[in-house]
Amino acid sequence: MLNFWKSTRRWLPGVIISLVAIAAILYFVNLQDFVAAIRSANYWFILVVFLLTIVWLLVRGLVWRTLLRGKATYRDTFLTVCEGYLLNNFLPIRLGELGRAFLLGRKSQLDFLEVLPTIVIERFLDLAFAAAILLSAVPYVVGATGAASIAIIIGALVVIGLVLMILLARNQEWALELFQRISSRWPAIQKQGGEFLASLLSGLSILTDGGLFVRVLLLMILNWLISLISTYLMILAFFPQATPIWSLFGLGAISFGNAIPSLPGAVGTLEAAFGGAIILLGGDKSTALAAALVGHLSNYLITGIFGLFALSNEGETVMGIYRQLQKRRLSLGVDPAGMDGAVTNPARETSLPPGALTEDSQTETEGGKKE
């Protein structure tokens, strides 16, 4: 019972936020107008959005493989990206990020903590791009000064986080020695924490390779350009009068709506953020919800198809992966299901031990895999 309430404190705020967002949407939206907007949408634009979503996933696979320094095949990284988004759509507290590290480590014989920092870096860069995009649109949106303040705060925190990670990556020996001195009174923590920190710092070393990091940034720019075009087409499908500013502001709102605590898959929060952004730009409330919901469902569908294909090829299911993550005691003795801030608070991340599977879980996994 104690573990249940401890876990509840982590996922309950997200549930409450999503439910409040859904209640607000239902209160303000006219369902008849909403249905009419769905029927009158330009589905040729929506079809292009579906195709661009696939291209976006393909490029995101390249981003992650570059962060991994090519240590995994492109096929494995692409399919694992899809699996991660699928898991995030159905599992709480963004366990899909941990699932990504676990699944790719198992496929590519990489240590969990060698993979995890690349996901942390990827998410930090996503937040930086989201803040920049939102800030670029705010001057053109009446009544969006609050959004500017949020973007500035988050952008500043992201920059500080990246600077700290770069400093740690460039001073690994100093960081390890400092940890050893601080933890000398607690041998167990010193041993397990030292292994964790060494693996984490090794994964951050890409930040010291200027050429490789520039390649990552260029691929991320391409990835976000695809997102901007996709968002613009989705908005145009419902609002023919929309300008590119709508896409900038809408995409920035989507990114932060997806980042705040919520039900799995940002249910409610994403619709509220995207719909709210369109309303601020002058769109009708019911039509704004239609655009947000169709956009969200299209993402669910594409990531679901590719993610389920990848999981089925491995003989896995969403709940099967969830149970495996639940059973793992990470190197610092923390249950992954009890972790929040999976990508925004790397100091709390822990690792699956090398080899990742206990004898019982190896038997379970091998029994569930397709030969």
pLDDT in tens, the chain (371 residues): 555 555 676 777 888 888 998 898 888 889 899 999 999 999 999 999 999 999 999 999 999 999 999 999 999 999 999 999 999 998 887 788 889 999 998 888 888 878 888 898 898 889 889 888 888 888 878 666 666 677 778 778 888 888 888 888 888 889 888 888 888 888 878 777 777 788 778 777 878 888 888 999 999 999 999 999 999 999 999 999 999 999 999 998 998 888 788 888 888 889 999 999 999 888 899 999 999 999 999 999 999 999 999 999 998 888 888 888 877 654 434 444 333 333 333 333 333 333 333 334 444 444 444 43
State which residues form the domain around 64: 17-111+210-368
How far is residue 353's CA from residue 102's CA, in Å, rounded to a whole number?
10
CB neighbourhood size of 200 (10 A): 24
In a domain, 175, yes or no: no
In a domain, 289, yes or no: yes
In a domain, 158, yes or no: no
Question: Quick one: which of 276, 297, 282, 293 has its CA closest to 240?
Answer: 282
Instruction: Work out the angle between the directed axes of helices 145-170 and 112-137 (0-180°, nearest 10).
Output: 150
In a domain, 316, yes or no: yes
pLDDT score, position 343: 35
In a domain, 121, yes or no: no
Residue type, 358: T
Question: Quick one: which of 71, 97, 72, 99 has its CA closest to 311?
Answer: 99
Q: Number of structural domains, the chain?
A: 1
Check the CA dihedral 97-100-103-104 and report its sign: negative
What b/e sequence results for 18-29 when a residue is b if at least 16 CB atoms lie within 10 Å of its CB, and e otherwise? beebbeebeeeb
How far is residue 304's CA from residue 53's CA, in Å, rounded to a whole number?
12
Which residues lie closer than 8 Å to 302 by C-beta, 6 or more apart?
50, 53, 54, 57
* pTM for this model (two decimals): 0.79
pLDDT score, position 346: 33
In a domain, 345, yes or no: yes
Contact 342, 287 (CB under 8 A): no
pLDDT score, position 145: 62
What b/e sequence results for 135-174 when a residue is b if at least 16 CB atoms lie within 10 Å of its CB, and e otherwise? bebbeebeebeebbebbeebbeebeebbeebeebbeebee
In a domain, 340, yes or no: yes
Residue type, 87: L
Helix/strand/coil for 37: helix
How far is residue 125's CA from residue 361's CA, in Å, rounded to a whole number?
34
How far is residue 216's CA from residue 210's CA, in Å, rounded to a whole number?
10
pLDDT score, position 168: 85
Output the DSSP codes for 179-216.
HHHHTTT-HHHHHHHHHHHHHHHHHGGGGG-HHHHHHH
Q: Residue 246 has which token pair? A: 């709508």
In a domain, 272, yes or no: yes
